[in-house]
Amino acid sequence: GGSVVVDVESHGRHEEGPGMDLSRTVGWFTCLYPVALGGGTEPGRVLADTKEMVRRVPRHGLGYGLLRHLSGWRPPATAEISFNYLGQAATSHNADDPFRFTEGPRGRARSPEGDRLHLIEILGRVADGRLSLVWSYSDEIHDEATISGLAHRYIEVLGELIDHCCRPEADDYTPSDFPLADLDHAALDLIAQHFGSVSGPGESTDSGGGS
C-alpha cells in the first residue's frame, strides 16, 4: 500500500533543552507532529522502517509546533488520523496509594460543539498488561461498520507483527540501535549475513562461560 501521514500526539514533557526542569509543573503540554508511514507487507521491514522514522524525529517533535505556528510555514498536506499513546499503567487496589484510576462515569472528555481536528483519532494505552485502543470519529462522515472494520484489520496486522517478533530468528536490529557505528540498513544487513547474527549494545552472542 501507499504511505499515510499520521499526527502523533505526546505529553510534551520531554526535558530536551539545557536547564529545563519540569519537576514543579503539572499538566499536559500537548505536542503534535506528523509522521509519514510507508506501506509494506513484510513485517520485519515495516517494523524497522517505522522504528527508524520515529527515532529520527528531532526532540520528540517539540519544535514542530513552533515551526508551524510562529514561522507561517504550512505543511503540504494535513493528517486525517491522529494517534496518542498514553503509556503503561497498573490498576492499584491499595486504598493507601495516592493515585488510582477512577471508576464509573467520568463525563465528556470534549465538548460536542468543538471542532474535530482529525477525521479519526486513536487513543491507546496499556493497563494491567492489556492494550486498549479507543477510536473516535464523526458519524456524519464515517459509518460504524467502516471504523469497526478498520479496527479489526488493525488488530490482525498487530497480531502479525507480534508473531514476527516472537520468532527465534527475528533480530530486527536497526541502525539507530548502534548510534556510534554510522551504519545504514544495507550495511547492517551485510554484517548480519556475514556473521550470522547481530547483538545489540550490552548483549553478547558468546554462550560460553567464564572462570
Instruction: Please report, to the nearest 10 degrees, the dihedral formed by the alpha carbons of residues 12, 15, 37, 50 taken in order.
Output: -140
Contact criterion met (CB below 8 Å) for 164 and 44: yes
**What pLDDT score was predicted for residue 159?**
94
| Beta strand extents in 80-182 (DSSP E only) | 81-89, 120-127, 130-137
In this predicted structure, the answer to whether residue 209 has a pLDDT above a threshold of 50 is no
Tens digits of residue pLDDT in 3-58: 889 999 988 777 666 777 888 888 877 888 999 888 778 888 888 888 888 888 88
CA 31 and chain centroid, separation: 13
Instruction: Domains for the chain: give ranges and CATH numbers.
Output: 4-14+27-89+114-167 (3.30.559.30)
**How many beta carbons lie within 10 A of that of residue 118, not counting itself?**
19
The least confident of 128-142, 158-172, 194-208 is: 194-208
Q: What is the pTM of this model?
A: 0.76
DSSP letter at 2 equals -
Name the percent of the chain lying above pLDDT 90: 24
Report, as an integer, the average pLDDT of 147-160: 95
Report, as an integer, the average pLDDT of 168-189: 79
- At 198, is the pLDDT very low, low, confident or very high (cuts 50, 70, 90)? low
**How many beta carbons lie within 10 A of that of residue 54, not counting itself?**
14
Distance between CA atoms of residues 173 and 10, nearest Å: 25
Tens digits of residue pLDDT in 88-109: 877 666 667 777 767 777 788 7
DSSP letter at 38 equals P
Q: Name the nearest CA neighbour of 48 among 201, 154, 170, 163.
A: 170
Three cell numbers at 128? 494491567
Instruction: Collapse the DSSP code of 116 into the 3-class scheme (helix H, G, I; strand E, B; otherwise coil) and give the result.
Output: coil
